[in-house]
Structure 1
Amino acid sequence: MTTERIADHVKFAYWVPNVSGGLVTSDIEQRTDWKYDYNVKLARTAEDNGFEYALSQVRYEASYGAEYQHESTSFSLALLLATQKLKVIAAVHPGLWQPAVLAKLGATADHLSGGRFAVNVVSGWFKDEFTHLGEPWLEHDERYRRSAEFLQVLRKIWTEDDVDFRGDFYRIHDFTLKPKPLNTPERPNPELFQGGNSTAARRNGGLYADWYFSNGKDYDGVSEQIVDVRGHARTTGREVRFGLNGFIIARDTEKEAKETLKEIVAKANRPAVEGFRAAVQQAGNSTADQRGMWADSTFEDLVQYNDGFRTQLIGTPEQIAERIAAYRKRGVDLILGGFLHFQEEIEYFGARVLPLVREIEQTEQDTVGEPVLVSA
């Protein structure tokens, strides 16, 4: 089984704005809202405009321009029950969740939604969220070792009976979950996502996840990560799909798009960005090889807090579609999009950008299943 192949078409996801402050840490107007009613309307708009996934963020403590937050798993279930097709991914922190408890919640959510619940395992960068709750803060690679066990336990509980698992962080003894998730050919067990940039994150993604999420990257950065993650997957005969974060500014003219980006950065909430920068770059630089998330991010990068500007999905619909198609040919299976004004921009994307992506893909059908292009 090869793990290096090009998908037939790119899937699209969007960041659920269940956290206040929008997707950029800036005082620019953002016509978006973190509340439930807005998000229900947005979820329905997204699924009607070609989006297959949504990712609910996880933040427990007010910080860095994100004063208010809705909890990710409950919010995800609410959105699932308000939609028909959309798959909703709930971000969760090992260390704040026991995996068997999440497995139970996930199985219930899977049944209630007809098999549309998914999980994104995030190992954590915000030390205060752990220490303020009286939980130990582990060193970087130890957090990812815990996440590796978390991923394994979730999958075993969802697929096996009489589960025994004896790890350094989790001990499961003769445990059987019923009902298990639906697990049909059309709706397999809840998909497991692993995010990160570091060596430890890549290993987890390749060995244990269904999907690997990357922060924003240019072509070379994406190619390097894909080869690495899928190399880990190949050692166990697995296949892992690759998701890439990108902040999307699609406008009728390139000039208008670039001016919007310039205004976002010019109006950045500097204290909030600097506070976030100090916290995350401590986490990213704590790895021995300096490959952690945000380790080399600039101030401008961090105005969009997952390096979304780096993916350069900024310009006219034609320019963005061509760039997405180029990422696909490097092995990207999914684009996780953030927007300044979610409701109207997702509609614009669905009407103006996505059809162009599909047209390009149709002309490149002979590349489906081919090895990933790793050169620029």
Structure 2
Amino acid sequence: MTETSSQPVRLLWYLTSPDGPVPWESDGRWPTDFGHLRELARTIDRLGYYGALLGTGRDDGLTVTAAMLADTERMRFLPAVYPGLHSPAKLAQIADTIQRFSGGRLLFNVVNGQDDTLAGYGVHFGHDERYEFSAEYWDAYRQVHRGEREEYRGRHVRLAERPLDLSPLSPWPSDPAPVRLWGAGTSPAGVAHSVRLLDTYLSFADTPARLGAKFARVGAEAARLGRRLDYGTRLQLIVRKTEDEAWAAAEELLGRTSHGTAVELAGWNLRGHSLADFKPGDFGIQDEAVERSLAALRAGRLPQVRDLEIHPNVWTGPSLFGFDVVSPSSGTYLVGSAENVAARIGEYRAHGVSSFILSGFPLIEEAHRTAELLFPLLNLTKE
């Protein structure tokens, strides 16, 4: 075990479709079905990962979670839950059922979404009001899940008194296992919501120091309320036996990404700022590698692989995240030998990160490679 990775960490994997060696490109994407997801869940469970994040997309996360219970024994499931898509009482019933049937292996990823996304489901709140609604929603959910039958009356959420139900499948048992809440929120309203509600605060990856500074700010807000949070981040992974092999794999991955995809992703990450108009120096950015990367995209080329390394072994990847003007996202990779990656995880751990949601593509193959190479170098917690 390396000195930098001696503190305990939770490692989660990614349970989602599509899959494939380069799933953001049509020629690198596999058609995935129920059988593929079952095999992926079995792999995550058998290899000893703490659990898995269920990606949002075509498949409903709660449905996938329930479908995978019989194929797994230990892993936790972290599906996204958007407040308002179920009534809080119905969600409490679903949660209680999964908790009892799984032996307490359910977690919730609290996601408040985008205005247009939720509007498509019939939930119409502006940004800050969405957090107000969410706070009430989860308060009502917890009241029901604790077995309290009283009426709930809030500004946005109202539940009538619930009758006593003593049937074997009652959603209000006398001692329900609580579902721990994970989630994120970066705006002032999002942070205020998070520190009151969450057990584990998540953020997309950044350099260890910048991510640690963000967690310190959030932790200070939580401390004012007498609360203490755990912290987690989301990283993709290219781990190989040697650092040279890992960077060669990263270069191959970048090479299989089309210029059009790279421009589309970079433009999206600039939050509405045109790629043509954006310059190094805007928003406080001064970096020659950023300038070279932008120049390459404007010239119809992809950036050089190491120009996208923002910290030792921390690579922004084909999605070109990592410019300070954007929030780095799931495109951020750890690239290196198992020793390199363990050292970086240790560095993130020193800055407060205790949970790492990882993925590499293809998902089953890279889950095996990660367990073989990286697990022996880390102190993995099961709880």
Counterpart of 1:345, as a letter, is E
State the Cα distance separating 1:37 from its structure 2 match. 1.2
Counterpart of 1:57, as a letter, is G
Matched residue SS, 2:378:
helix
Deviations along 1:221-247, whole A, 9 cap, x unmatched?
Answer: 221221122223223322321111000
Residues 1:38 and 2:36 are matched in the alignment? yes
Selected match of 1:139 from 126, 129, 134: 126
Residues 1:191 and 2:180 are matched in the alignment? yes
Counterpart of 2:155, as a letter, is D
Structure 1, gaps ≥5 residues long: 1-5, 60-68, 285-289, 291-296, 362-376
Give 2:320's aligned residue: 300
Residues 1:101 and 2:121 are matched in the alignment? no
State the Cα distance separating 1:220 from its structure 2 match. 2.0
Give 2:204's aligned residue: 215
Within-5 A mapping of 1:154-173? 154-173=141-160
State the Cα distance separating 1:133 from its structure 2 match. 4.2
Residues of 2 paired with 1:175 and 1:274: CA distance?
53
Residues of 2 paired with 1:104 and 1:317: CA distance?
42
Give 1:49's aligned residue: 47
Cα distance change, pair 253–21 in 1 and its aligned pair in 2 (3 A): closer
State the Cα distance separating 1:325 from its structure 2 match. 1.3
Residues of 2 paired with 1:263 and 1:279: CA distance?
23
Deviations along 1:94-115, whole A, 9 cap, x unmatched?
Answer: 2323222211111111111111
State the Cα distance separating 1:331 from its structure 2 match. 1.2
Counterpart of 2:339, as a letter, is E
Asked if the contact 2:6–2:379 (Cα under 8 Å) also holds between the matched residues in 1, the reply is no
Deviations along 1:65-105, whole A, 9 cap, x unmatched?
Answer: xxxx2211110111122100011111121232322221111
Asked if the contact 1:322–1:357 (Cα under 8 Å) also holds between the matched residues in 2, the reply is no
Deviations along 1:235-269, whole A, 9 cap, x unmatched?
Answer: 33223211110001111222232233333334335
Counterpart of 1:141, as a letter, is D
Name the larger-Rg structure: 2
Matched residue SS, 1:313:
strand
Residues of 1 paired with 2:89 and 2:263: CA distance?
37
Give 1:80's aligned residue: 69
Selected match of 1:124 from 85, 90, 113: 113
Residues of 1 paired with 2:22 and 2:135: CA distance?
28
Within-5 A mapping of 1:1-376? 8-19=7-18, 25-26=24-25, 29=28, 34-59=32-57, 69-125=58-114, 127=116, 129-136=117-124, 138-175=125-162, 178-180=170-172, 188-268=177-257, 299-301=319-321, 307-310=329-332, 312-358=333-379
Counterpart of 1:77, as a letter, is A
Residues of 2 paired with 1:333 and 1:168: CA distance?
36
Counterpart of 2:373, as a letter, is R
Residues of 2 paired with 1:151 and 1:278: CA distance?
35
Cα distance change, pair 146–256 in 1 and its aligned pair in 2 (3 A): farther
Counterpart of 1:76, as a letter, is T
Asked if the contact 1:121–1:151 (Cα under 8 Å) also holds between the matched residues in 2, the reply is no
Asked if the contact 1:25–1:269 (Cα under 8 Å) also holds between the matched residues in 2, the reply is no
Asked if the contact 1:211–1:242 (Cα under 8 Å) also holds between the matched residues in 2, the reply is yes
Residues of 2 paired with 1:139 and 1:15: CA distance?
30
Asked if the contact 1:93–1:123 (Cα under 8 Å) also holds between the matched residues in 2, the reply is yes
Asked if the contact 2:266–2:320 (Cα under 8 Å) also holds between the matched residues in 1, the reply is no
Matched residue SS, 1:249:
strand
Q: Taking structure 1 as the reference length, what is the TM-score of the superposition? A: 0.75
Residues of 2 paired with 1:103 and 1:23: CA distance?
37
State the Cα distance separating 1:333 from its structure 2 match. 1.3
Asked if the contact 2:140–2:152 (Cα under 8 Å) also holds between the matched residues in 1, the reply is yes
Matched residue SS, 2:226:
coil
Asked if the contact 1:226–1:242 (Cα under 8 Å) also holds between the matched residues in 2, the reply is yes
Alignment coverage as a number of residue pairs: 326
Asked if the contact 2:237–2:358 (Cα under 8 Å) also holds between the matched residues in 1, the reply is yes
Residues of 2 paired with 1:149 and 1:283: CA distance?
32
Residues of 2 paired with 1:131 and 1:270: CA distance?
32
Asked if the contact 1:250–1:320 (Cα under 8 Å) also holds between the matched residues in 2, the reply is yes
Residues of 2 paired with 1:322 and 1:328: CA distance?
10
Residues of 2 paired with 1:101 and 1:40: CA distance?
26
Counterpart of 2:10, as a letter, is K
Counterpart of 1:159, as a letter, is R
Residues of 2 paired with 1:20 and 1:348: CA distance?
16
Residues of 2 paired with 1:95 and 1:230: CA distance?
28
Asked if the contact 1:265–1:300 (Cα under 8 Å) also holds between the matched residues in 2, the reply is no
Matched residue SS, 1:300:
coil
Asked if the contact 2:22–2:253 (Cα under 8 Å) also holds between the matched residues in 1, the reply is no
More deviation, 110-119/250-259: 250-259
More deviation, 82-91/37-46: 37-46
State the Cα distance separating 1:300 from its structure 2 match. 1.0
Residues of 2 paired with 1:306 and 1:79: CA distance?
31
Q: Say what the alpha-carbon RMSD is for the aligned residues.
A: 3.3
State the Cα distance separating 1:22 from its structure 2 match. 7.8
